[in-house]
Amino acid sequence: MKVDVLLGLQWGDEGKGKVVDVLTPNYDLVTRFQGGPNAGHTLEFGGEKYILRSIPSGIFQGGKMNIIGNGVVLDPLLFKQEAEGLVASGHDITKQLYISKKAHLILPTHRMLDAAYEAAKGDGKIGTTGKGIGPTYTDKVSRNGVRVGDILNQFEEKYAKAKARHEAILHSLNYSYDIAELEKEWFEAVEYLKRFQLIDSEHVINNLLKEGKSVLAEGAQGTMLDIDFGSYPFVTSSNTICAGACTGLGVAPGKIGNVYGIFKAYCTRVGSGPFPTELFDETGKLLSTLGHEFGSVTGRARRCGWLDLVALKYAVMINGVTQLIMMKSDVLDSFNTIKVCTAYKIDGEIVEEFPYEINDKIEPVYVEFPGWKTDMTKMTSEDEFPEEYNAYISFIEEETGVPVKIVSVGADREQTIVRYEE
C-alpha cells in the first residue's frame, strides 16, 4: 500500500484536523510528519471539541495506530499537557500512540530563543507561535539538536550542552528570562514521555506498508508557510509540502499515493507576512466573525480575505495534489457576491504565476460569483447543492485541474460531504 498525504494549501488552519479525523476509518495508521505544537488542529464530534497540537488527528477513531514521525519537533511538556487532557476526557491514548526516536526535542531554552529572536526583529517579526519551532529546527540542521531517543541515554549531559549553547546566545541578545520552574516541569514531562512507545518509525511504517496496511500522513501548517516555497521569511521552519512526508517519515517518493490538498473557500493568515487578497473592510470582518477566525493555539485574530487561485494553483503544483478538499464554504452561505482572485496585477502587468516577491505592489484581479444564499450546514449530499455553489466548485476545478472530492459545511465531523469515492 501507499501513504496518502493530507496537507494545507494556504497559510494553515484550513481544517486539516477535522478531515483527518473523518478519513481515519479508511486507514490503518495516521502519522504527523513535520511541525510541532505550533499546529492547532480542531476536531468536533459528539458535542465535544478537541484541539490537537502534536498528537495526530487519527487518535479518536477506533483505537487506530498513530505515530509522531521523525520530522516533527516535540515539546515534552506541551505533549504531556495534551496527552493528559485526552486521558482526562476518557481517551486513553498510551497504547495507540508511538513516537519516533528521531523526532527532535524542543527544549525550554528553544522557547526563550524564539521569543528573543522575535524581539530582536522588532517590526520585522514573523509573529511566530512562540513555541520554539524555529530554534529547534535550526539546531537540527546545524547538527546540534537533541532527539527523543536521547532521553534514553546520558540525557542530562546532552541537555546541559545544548542549554549552555542556548544561554550564550540569549546572553548575547541581552534577553533576560527565568526558566527554573519551566525546566522542572519539562523534566517531569520527559519522564512521562517514556510511557509511550519510542520507536524507529521509518522501519515500522515501511513494514506496515509492505504488509499491505494503509497510511494517512497529516500535514501541519500550509504550503504558503513552507520553508522553501512559502512567503519567506514569513514562514515556519519545516517543509510543509508533500515532499516533507518523505523526509519526515522515511518513505520513498514512489510510496506516496493520493495527495489531498485542503483549502478554505476563502483565505486566512495568522501572524505577519504578505497576504495579497487580504480584506481590511466590512467583508473581511464578516469572514472573521462568521468563520470564528481566531487561532486555536494562540487565540490571535486571523487575517481574512478572498480565495487566491494564483497561490492555490502554485500549491497544487508544488504538492502534486490529486484531490481537493474545500472547507468552511458555509461561512459564505449568506454572501450576495463572492470574489476569487485569478491573477495579480504588478506594475500594470498581469501575472498568473506565483511570483518570487509577494509585496504591497500586488493588486489582486478578481472574478465575481453570485452567492448561493442558502444555509448548507445541514446538507448531506451533493444532490442538494445550489446551482451557484456547483458553479463555484466547477470554476475551482477547471482552474486547478483537480477534482474537489470533499466539501465541509460545518465544524462537526458529520458536516462533511464526500462527492465521490475512488
In the complex, the smallest distance separating the C-beta of residue 39 from ligand IMO, rounded to whole angstroms, is 3
40 is a contact residue toward ligand IMO (CB under 6 A): yes
Residue 292 class from Cβ within 10 Å (0-12 exposed, 13-18 middle, 19+ buried)? Answer: exposed
Catalytic residue status for 104: no
Q: Is 402 in the site for ligand IMO (CB under 6 A)?
A: no
Fill in the amino acid letter for 356. Answer: Y
Cα gap 95→29, rounded to integer Å? 13
CA 252 from chain centre, in angstroms, equals 22
* Rounded Cα–Cα distance for residues 211 and 412 (Å): 33
Which cell goes with 6? Answer: 493530507
37-45, 67-75, 250-258, 356-364 -> range binding ligand IMO (CB under 6 A): 37-45
Instruction: Work out how close the CB of 301 gets to ligand IMO at its nearest, in angstroms, rounded to a whole number.
Output: 11
Q: Which is nearer to ligand IMO, 149 or 291 (CB)?
A: 291
User: CA-CA distance, 10 to 155, in Å (whole number)?
Assistant: 38
**In terms of Cα–Cα distance, which of 38, 67, 374 is closest to 225?**
38
* Grid cell digits, residue 164: 549552555
Q: Which stretch binds ligand GDP (CB under 6 A): 5-13, 110-118, 134-142, 308-316?
A: 5-13
User: Which member of 3, 189, 220, 249 binds ligand IMO (CB under 6 A)?
Assistant: 220
Under the binding rule (CB under 5 A), the answer on residue 40 touching Mg ion is yes
Does 42 help bind ligand GDP (rule: CB under 6 A)?
yes
Round to whole Å and give the CA distance between 31 and 26: 14
Segment near ligand IMO (CB under 6 A); pick from 18-26, 124-132, 152-160, 182-190: 124-132
Q: Which stretch binds ligand IMO (CB under 6 A): 38-46, 55-63, 76-84, 195-203?
A: 38-46
Extended beta strands in 309-410, E state: 323-327, 337-346, 349-351, 363-370, 404-408
Q: Which is nearer to ligand IMO, 209 or 216 (CB)?
A: 216
Taking residues 295 to 334 in sequence order and writing x for each that binds Mg ion by CB under 5 A, - otherwise, the string is -x--------------------------------------
Nearest to Mg ion of 13, 114 (CB atom): 13
**Residue 401 burial (C-beta neighbours within 10 Å; 0-12, 13-18, 19+):** exposed
Cis peptide before 233 (omega within 30 of 0): yes
Based on the residue annotation, tell me whether 150 is a catalytic residue of this protein.
no
Residues linked to residue 44 through DSSP beta bridges, in sequence order = 49, 412
Query: Is residue 225 near ligand IMO by the rule CB under 6 A?
Result: yes
Which of ligand GDP, Mg ion, ligand IMO, none does 328 bind, CB closer than 5 to 8 A by kind? Answer: ligand GDP
**How far apart are alpha carbons 422 and 408 in whole angstroms?**
18
Helix H or strand E encompassing 268: strand 267-269
- Residue 65 interacts with ligand GDP (CB under 6 A): yes or no: no
Instruction: Give me the active site residues, please.
Output: 13, 41
Q: What residues line the site for Mg ion (CB under 5 A)?
A: 13, 40, 296
Q: What residues line the site for ligand GDP (CB under 6 A)?
A: 8, 12-18, 39-42, 44, 296, 327-328, 330-331, 408-411
